[in-house]
Homo-oligomer: A and B are copies of this chain.
Amino acid sequence: MPQGNSEMPCAPGQVRACTVREVLDRVGGKWSIGILVATAQGPVRFTELERRVEGISRRMLTLTLRNLERDGLLRRTVHPTVPPRVEYAATGMALELYESLVALTTWAERHRTAITDARAEYDREHGIPG
């Protein structure tokens, strides 16, 4: 998970590398997007997240949740019951980010096979990596 770089001077305007970097530094980790998607429809409990985000370990779930909460993308609510009940809810900011991912999703789907083909051809012409 991307840890916080102190501060970066990213001037506004067009698409700039360091601005995109800001996003990736928050959400470029292995599990962040999965959690974002899992919480996009409404608050989700810890164990439920563990089920929905397939393959995640309890440790990485906790760590990623903490980072997302710290960045203001998730709100953590503890209900002081027995047994404890903790809910994670996406903030407005997170939902906006979620919407911004539509473009990337579309791109990935459009070019999925093209990428696969490109890789296959590259590996044919040059040696397979290794």
A residues near B, CB below 8 A? 2-5, 7, 10, 12, 14-17, 19-24, 26, 28, 33-34, 36-38, 40-41, 52-54, 69-72, 93, 96-112, 114-119, 122-123, 129
Contacts and interface: CB of A to CB of B under 8 A. Distances in A.
B4 A119 contact: yes
B119 A12 contact: no
Contacts of A102: 15, 103
What is the total number of copies of this protein in its complex?
Answer: 2
> Secondary structure at chain A's binding surface: helix, strand, loop or mixed?
helix
Contacts of A69: 122
A48 to B, nearest CB: 9
B70 A119 contact: yes
